[in-house]
Structure 1
Amino acid sequence: MQEIIIVGGGIMGCLTALNLLEAGIRVTLLERQRAGREASWAGGGIVSPLYPWRYGKPVQVLASWSQGYYPRLAEELKQQTGIDPEVSSCGLMWLDHAEQEQALAWAASQAQPLRRVDSSFIYRQVPELAPGYQSALWQDDLANVRNPRLMAALLKRLNADPNFSLVEQCPADELIITGGRVGGVRGGGRSFHAEKVVIAAGAWSGEWLGTLGYELPVQPVKGQMQLYRCMPGWLPSMVLFEGRYAIPRRDGHVLIGSTLEHTGFDASTTVEAFASLRQSALQLLPGLAAQQPVGQWAGLRPGSPDGVPFIGEVPGLSGLWLNAGHYRNGLVLAPASCRLVADLISGRQPAIDPAPYAPALRLGSIA
């Protein structure tokens, strides 16, 4: 049986592992801290790019495939683990958006059920919104996934497989390279051997490739979030205004996000972000003024040019693969991205054209 090591225990690493296991491949997953506790846990879980019409075809293809697959994935995980990832198709509303014509033209070209709605529809759909919104874009089939539950379900499913090994608190230090071919990873004072290695280390992926002489333009971009506890159904749909959003969970919790901060690998929360997110929360939903947030946290997104991920084998170093650089859309693009890399590794016919994501065409060299 073929053996593969995956570096990184977020959504990309875990879902890649599941796809490989289902292809009959043994997997060892190395995680520097605890699996599923970085950006995959911290994000909002909207199963759509925030502004899908701004992205090129490579991101749109991955997003469309993943959106269609998420309900099936959630149901399978629920049946297998008893943990419901809570994929909720509650719809998304873009309020008073200046790009309505561009968005509607994109929707028509992609056969997306996005439409313009007026103020009467806005307040029938989301009565708790602040007054004054006149027009919006609305797509009723867009969903969000409760990403901490998704990660918990994935890890439970993986750990039940006899061909899967999870090694946490194990920073991967270096690749084992023999004769120009990758044969494993050293980390935590141990050596792990396998035919192939997949780097799915999120914001840390760029550093990994840098040690090998490649310029992978993936940088950490911090995002901070705020959480409120409301009654179930208080916010019936997701709403987005001027880059900030509110996301309802089935139990009534409401997420407000998020910041975009270029602060390196600093994942601490700040009082400045607390005030900014609080202001956004009240601007959208003034009813939240009666309560204080019950949580605030931060995660590091893997920022990349145009948000197009790197998926495929690294040129010039046989056995080294990438699934990294998804920026703000990691949860959105994960099912398609992980299916693609597993198809390529296992030799199956790819479900998605791999060419736009191929590292061989996009990696630079460090002089």
Structure 2
Amino acid sequence: MWMRDVVIVGGGVMGCLTALELLQAGCRVTLLERGELGREASWAGGGIVSPLYPWRYSSPISALARWSQDYYGALARHLLVDTGIDPEVQPCGLLWLDLDEQDQAMQWAAQQDRPLQHVDEQFIYRQVPPLAKGFAGALWQADLANVRNPRLMKALRARLLQFDGFVLREHCAALGLQREAGRITGVQIAGGVVSGDAVVLCAGAWGGDWLAAEGLTLPVEPVKGQMLLYRMEPGWLPSMVMAEGRYAIPRRDGHILIGSTLEHAGYDKTTTEQALTSLRLSAEALLPALAQQTPVAQWAGLRPGSPDGVPYIGPLSARPGLWLNLGHYRNGLVLAPASCRLLADLLLERAPAIDPAPYLPDARLCHG
């Protein structure tokens, strides 16, 4: 059954890229967002186009990450041409400093055919002059990029609105699912129902609550991350750097992101002094000159935490007509292009770009 009219719940990067894939295939799409498009986790994240330590992840995550990394440059170019908005996908490279996992990392890189290399002290300080002293070695991947995620979301919004078959409903809370003859046929909103041949749930950290209302257990929960933003001269930090789970990401205009915390605090997105202190200490340990700077912003977002970080992508046979694109945890921006292509391939019954088996929800969800 070919799906012509699709309703998407959630206006983050998953919802927007899923919508774009379906619109380009000729579908009509209504996207429901209870707030403003792209203002939750997709806006708050750092935008490194890689899992933070990619060798620690399972092959299903590596498969999505690799496809997305190879696609991001083209996506950014297309969005710039179509909208005039540059998502700033910047291949500036990433240094992992003084790792004790070098053998594991190099084995992973060989298996994945990724240009990871071990570099010495001389290389480190030539590549990133403002780095704190005392680092003797690092791992380096020169082609890794970061995307300026607020600009990506702005470009996606502009591109989607160019399609005649696209309807965006912001500040429109989805209240529940509509059923007819045992099939999901739409989404209930205040004052009515938005109907479709398929409903795609891209609700991020709220995905677990949605499935709980359907009597199903989806182990997705909010995990708060707080970030700091500094402002330096453009080019001051030439590459991304990472040590002990904390990272610094340069933007083209000189902004530098420092992240991030991992906090289980429910749906609380307030920033804290404790996180500010912790992130400042990490920033100054990596880049001592930041001790003379005051952060220009601090914010928090909610990741869709899941046990192994492997997302749920595909149809839910227990609820015919309902599809999931959920549970990407810390890697939503990294995995989004591949995840949304796969979802569209499955929904439109095309040959999938990636083996869908590890992500299909049916075998991984429990009836409550």
After TM superposition, the score normalised by the length of structure 1 is 0.99
The residue number in structure 2 matching 1:190 is 192
Structure 1 unaligned residues grouped into runs of 5+: none
Residue 188 (structure 1) shift = 2.6
> In the alignment, is residue 21 of structure 1 matched against residue 42 of structure 2?
no
Residue 190 (structure 1) shift = 2.5
Selected match of 1:353 from 328, 352, 355: 355
The residue number in structure 2 matching 1:99 is 101
Partners of 2:282 and 2:182 in 1: CA distance: 52
Q: Deviations over 1:36-93 (max 9, x none)?
A: 0000000000000000001111000000000000000000000000000000000000
Partners of 2:11 and 2:108 in 1: CA distance: 35
Partners of 1:133 and 1:219 in 2: CA distance: 37
Residue 291 (structure 1) shift = 1.1
Instruction: Tell me the secondary structure at the aligned position of residue 306 of structure 1.
Output: coil
Q: After TM superposition, which residue ranges in structure 1, 4 or more long, deviate above 4 angstroms?
A: none
Partners of 1:76 and 1:106 in 2: CA distance: 31
The residue number in structure 1 matching 2:321 is 319
> Between Structure 1 and Structure 2, how many residues are aligned?
366
Q: Deviations over 1:3-48 (max 9, x none)?
A: 0000000000000000000111000000011110000000000000
Of the structure 1 ranges 81-90 and 103-112, higher mean CA displacement relative to structure 2 is found in 103-112
Partners of 1:178 and 1:315 in 2: CA distance: 15
Q: Deviations over 1:314-336 (max 9, x none)?
A: 12211000000000000000000
Q: Percent identity?
A: 66
Instruction: Tell me the secondary structure at the aligned position of residue 50 of structure 1.
Output: coil
The residue number in structure 2 matching 1:81 is 83
Selected match of 2:179 from 166, 177, 180: 177
Q: Deviations over 1:251-290 (max 9, x none)?
A: 1100000000000011111111111111100000001111
Give the partner amino acid of 2:275: A
Superposed counterparts of 1:1-367, under 5 Å: 2-366=4-368
Partners of 2:190 and 2:310 in 1: CA distance: 32
Partners of 1:335 and 1:361 in 2: CA distance: 23
Structure 2 unaligned residues grouped into runs of 5+: none
Partners of 2:191 and 2:326 in 1: CA distance: 25
What's the C-alpha RMSD, in Å, of the aligned pairs? Answer: 0.8
Residue 351 (structure 1) shift = 0.8
Give the partner amino acid of 2:167: S
Give the partner amino acid of 1:12: M
Residue 189 (structure 1) shift = 2.5
After TM superposition, the score normalised by the length of structure 2 is 0.98
Give the partner amino acid of 2:189: G
